[in-house]
Every structure is written in structure tokens, then in C-alpha cells.
Amino acid sequence: MTHPAPSLAEIDAVRRFNRFATAQAGALNAALLGSGRSLAEARVLWELGHSPPRSAARLAEALALDPAYLARILRRFREAGLAEAVPDPADARARIARLTPAGAAELAGLEDAARAEVRARLAPLSAADRTRLLTAMAQVERGFAPSARPAPEPTAEEKVRLRAPGPGDMGWVVSRHGALYAAEFGMTAAFEALVARISADFIETAAPETHRGWIAARGETRLGAVFLVPGDPLDGAPADAPPRRRAGKLRMLLVEPEARGLGLGRRLVSTCIETARALGYPRLDLWTHDMLTAARALYAAEGFARVSSAPHEGFGVRTMEEVWRLDLVAATAPLTDPA
């Protein structure tokens, strides 16, 4: 498969991250200086202590170190009594490097120092922030070495689940809509006020036979949301008509930037669609804006079709507001009460 060449912006972004990572490694190295060991020496000690004994050439390959540089490190280790070269049991002509008991003891001390330094860095972070950080670090590893190791099975905290809204969730929905739409589209607080009214109405009127809400969460970290509420009555049905005589409405779809591109938006929308169908809604409507290109593409992929559009200036920006619609049944039964 042919991929487009990396852009200059992408290259510079990786270089910027490398500088940051190098600075972090330098700070960690400072914690090791009390032992008289450099970061490279600590890496060699770790590899000798945690991997099967191997030749210097194989060790240099595993650590991506210059063989001559590694040879000097191993010589210093042998002189200090930390490592030794012994015949390879599989080939008596070859020599393999391994730690001595003194080397294993020094490695244990270095690991304790490194863990203490990392513990101090993680301590100020919440559990949710730590989960995000570790997930991002794993993504970087897989991105640069996708075949080096299989992706670990996600833990229960790492798995994204959809749950019903609980205490505090609706306030988060309002807050994140306001912040994201202001940052990404320049919308004013008038949009946040609209979301607040919709959220308040959901809290006050939600009933299990007509309403549903989903919060996407990984552990305690909220990543997205979507809601199903009653829409317009169909064919002259009364305002309190049951779902089979009115449209359902998909509202307040939200996916946090860190969770985009993972299929979460599609999962939220498809869950809303299937639930609307199960509740008996013959149709599902939604209201959106032309600038929401990713969301509109998702709606189209899920079978929605745009049925109307009109200019809109209510949130501090000029947009085209749009209504999209999805028929949930091939043929709607007559919308009359049974005799």
C-alpha cells in the first residue's frame, strides 16, 4: 500500500516531540547521575538484566547502539565487576555478555531510583490523566514500531464503554460543547446556552419509553456523548404521541478530540439509531451545520440524508443549518390508533 510522503509539518512535529522526549530522558538521567551511570549505561544494564544473555553484536542491535560504543561500556562493566563474558552454550566459539551478582544489585538500585523519579512525575496527575498519558505513550510506540510487538489487550479501564448519564454528566456535556465549538468553530456562548436548555429539558422530561442518553467513557474519563429525544409528531398526531407516531431526534453528539478517528462517533450514532428503531420511532431526525464536515460524513455513512438547509447566524458565525433524516422502517404502518 502506497502512503503519501510525510509533510514538512508532520516531520517538524515528530522532531519537536523528539526534543521533548530527549529533555525528559535528560531529566531522568540526572536522577541516575548519583550512581555515576549515564542513561546509555543504565539501558545496557537493564537489557543485560532483563533479557537472555547474548553476544555484543546482538546486544548492540537490540539497543540501536554503535558496536564500538557498546564495547567500551561492556569493558567498563567488566572492569567494575558488573558484567562478564562467558562462552555461549550453543556455540563455544562465541562469547555472550551477562550481569554478575554485583551488576544485578546495581541494576536493582538504578531501577529503584528511576521508579522514584517517575513516581514523582506521575503523582500530581489524576487517575484519568495518567490513563490518557499511558494510552498516548503506547500509541507512539505502536506508531513507530507497529510490528515490533502486539498491541496489549486493553484493561477494563482502557476499554471505552457506553453508559447512561449519571450525576454531573449533563454539566460536562454542556461545558464540553461550549468549549469545543468555541475553539473549533468560533461559536459564542449562545450555542452553549442552547445545549444547556436541551440538557435541562432532558433531565426534567426523560422517560425510558421515549428518551435515551449515552456517555462514552474510558474508566472515569468521559470521551463522548449522544442523546435520543422525541421529535416532531407525524401526520397530525398529538404533542404527546408515542414514538410510533412521531419522529425521534438525535441530539448533542460529541466526541472528544483525543478519541476521534477511533470509530467512537460511529458507535454512538449507530447505538442511537438502533435504540430509536427498537423504541418504535419510524424516523430519526437531526439538526446540524455545514461546517461540521466530519459529523456530516458520518451521518451520510449511516444512511441519513439532508432534507433542508437555511442560513443561520445565531451563534456568532454564519453557517448553513441543516436537517438530516433517516427512515427507520421500509414502510411506515398507518399512523392511526388501533380500533
Q: Degrees (nearest 5) of the Cα angle 92, 94, 99?
A: 100
**Residues 6+ positions from 276 with CB-CB distance below 8 Å:** 228, 243, 248, 250, 284, 328
Backbone angles phi, psi at 209, to 5 degrees: -85, -10
Q: What is the pLDDT of residue 336?
A: 43
Domain ranges of the chain: 11-124, 160-327
Contact call for residues 226 and 275 (beta carbons, < 8 A):
no
Determine whether 265 is exposed, middle or buried from the number of CB atoms within 10 Å of its CB (0-12, 13-18, 19+): buried
Here the cell at position 287 is 439538526
The DSSP bridge pattern shows strands 305-312 and 283-289 to be unpaired
- Helix (H) / strand (E) containing 289: strand 283-289
Helix, strand, coil shares, percent, the chain, to 5: 50, 20, 30
For the record, the C-alpha cell of 301 comes out as: 455513512
Task: Look at residue 112 in the predicted model and tell me its pLDDT.
Answer: 82
Query: What's the pLDDT at 334?
Result: 43
pLDDT number for residue 300: 95
CB contact set of 262 (below 8 Å; sequence gap of 6+) = 160
CATH class of residue range 160-327: alpha beta
Tens digit of pLDDT per residue, the chain (339 long)?
466 788 888 888 888 888 888 777 665 565 555 667 777 888 888 888 888 888 888 888 888 889 899 899 999 999 999 999 888 877 777 888 889 999 899 888 888 877 888 888 888 988 778 877 877 887 787 777 755 555 556 655 468 999 999 999 999 999 999 999 999 999 999 999 999 999 999 999 999 999 999 999 998 899 999 999 999 999 888 888 889 999 999 999 999 998 988 899 999 999 999 999 999 999 999 999 999 999 999 999 999 999 999 999 889 999 999 999 999 985 344 444 433
For the 11-124 domain, the top CATH level (class) is mainly alpha
pLDDT recorded at residue 39: 75
Query: Which H/E stretch holds residue 161?
Result: strand 160-163
The pLDDT value recorded for residue 115 is 81
This prediction's pTM: 0.55
Query: What pLDDT score does 216 carry?
Result: 97
Alpha-carbon distance of 119 to 125, in angstroms, equals 10
